[in-house]
Amino acid sequence: MSVIATKELSKEYQSRTFSKEKILALNNFTFEVNEGEIFGILGPNGAGKTTLIKILLGITFRTKGNVQIFGKEIDDTSYKFQTGYLPENHRFPSYLTGEQALAFYGKLGGMNSVDVKKKTDEYLRIVDMDSWRKTKIKKYSKGMLQRLGLAQALMNDPKLVFLDEPTDGVDPIGRKQIRDLLTRLRESGKTIFLNSHLLSEVELICDRVAILNKGGLVASGSVEELTSVADSYRFSVSAIADDLMQPLLNTYKAVIKGPNEFTYKAGTAEELNGLIDFLRQKKAMILQIEKEKNTLENMFINLIGSQD
């Protein structure tokens, strides 16, 4: 079931007040997010990622297109009882303490006082901020604010959580804790919409990813699909003997990667099997064949670079 579904979603901004010049922040963006998955949204600065999240939450208004959350148009704001949001560079009223901030935002999320108390205790513990609960927010570090922000986004036990750079300013151990928390949330059936610049992090936890550039969707799919290099296979053999080397280079146009490794681009399954037959015929011991993979970062840089 789709938790989020957009169709030809567009957003135009005026470049300046009273200016007729328009900036297209989103251009006919169509995508879906399924229930219970961690969906990552990637793109360079100004690609339209934050605009997309803000439209989904009714903070910014779309110029055209349709948006449905939990199967309903977002003009009906009741869906916000089931969503949580951690914005990038969020700012809580600095005069509140950690627990006061959670209580305030929990009540704004429609929670009653009993649940607020229970969830405040629970989430302050989960984000490791229990000992700072009575301290004024103005004394918090960036990482602590981020943890509190995450607790705020989860307070009302939302089915759908939007996280904009959730690990920004958090130390590596904290990042690991947040990743683990997000994984646990997914296991409990929650859907997470994640915007992060840390591609390695996205690669680690996201089920599916969409890549935006200049307001348009340039790629989407599972991390596996996006990082696999089309038709390229990495072979490990016991050794590349001399009688193998020449045919591999000249006939099969393989790329030698080491004394016992090479990659081969097979257009069809027959071509791949042809090479395997050749290696067996030459008595080469095949240790491993795997579809060649790229890192998400390399894929991202190549994709965006080719567009610019």
Partner 1 sequence: MIFLTLMFSVFREAVAKKIFLGFFAIATLIILFFLLLVNVDSVEGMVNMMEATGEEGVKQLVMGFQVGMITISYFLVITFCFIAVSSFIPSMLEKGNVDILLSKPVSRTNIILAKFLGGVLLIFLSLTYLIGGVWLILSVKSGFWHFPFLYSIPWLTFSFAVVYALIILIGVTTQSTILSIIVSMFLVFVICPVLFVRETVIFSFITNSTMQFVINFFYYILPKLNDINKIIEEIIMGTAVSSYMPAVSSSLFMLAALLLSIFYFRRKDY
Which stretches of the chain bind partner 1, using CB under 8 A?
A: 13, 54, 57-61, 77-78, 80-81, 83, 85, 87-93, 95-96, 100, 104-105, 107-110, 112, 152, 162
Q: Name which of 89 and 295 has its Cβ closer to partner 1.
A: 89
Contact by Cβ (8 Å): 7, 65: yes
| DSSP letter, residue 45 | T
The least CB distance from residue 187 to partner 1, in Å, is: 24
Beta bridge partners of 23: 13
Nearest distance from C-beta of residue 59 to partner 1, angstroms: 4
Nearer to partner 1, 163 or 199 (CB): 163
Q: Toward partner 1, which CB reaches closer, 90 or 234?
A: 90
Please count the other Cβ atoms lying within 10 Å of the Cβ belonging to residue 232: 15
**DSSP strand E in 152-215: where?**
160-164, 191-195, 208-213
- Which C-beta is closer to partner 1: that of 13 or that of 278? 13
Least distance between partner 1 and beta carbon 200 (Å): 26
The angle formed by the CA atoms of residues 147, 149 and 155, to the nearest 5 degrees, is: 105
How would you classify the pairing of strands 38-42 and 191-195?
Answer: parallel
Tokens of 227: 């990082």
Neighbours of 48 (CB within 10 A): 24
Q: Among residues 107 and 265, whose Cβ is nearest to partner 1?
A: 107
Task: Give the residue carrying structure tokens 């992060």.
Answer: 196
Q: State in angstroms the smallest separation of the CB of 113 from partner 1.
A: 9
CA atoms within 13 A on the CB side of 182: 29
Shortest Cβ 267–partner 1 spacing (Å): 49
Of 49 and 80, the one with the shorter C-beta distance to partner 1 is 80
State the minimum distance, in angstroms, from the CB of residue 109 to partner 1: 6
Nearest CB to partner 1, comparing residues 195 and 220: 195
Residue 249 CB, shortest distance to partner 1, in Å, is: 57
Judge whether 155 and 126 are in contact, CB under 8 Å: no
What lies within 8 Å, CB to CB, of 270 at 6+ separation is none
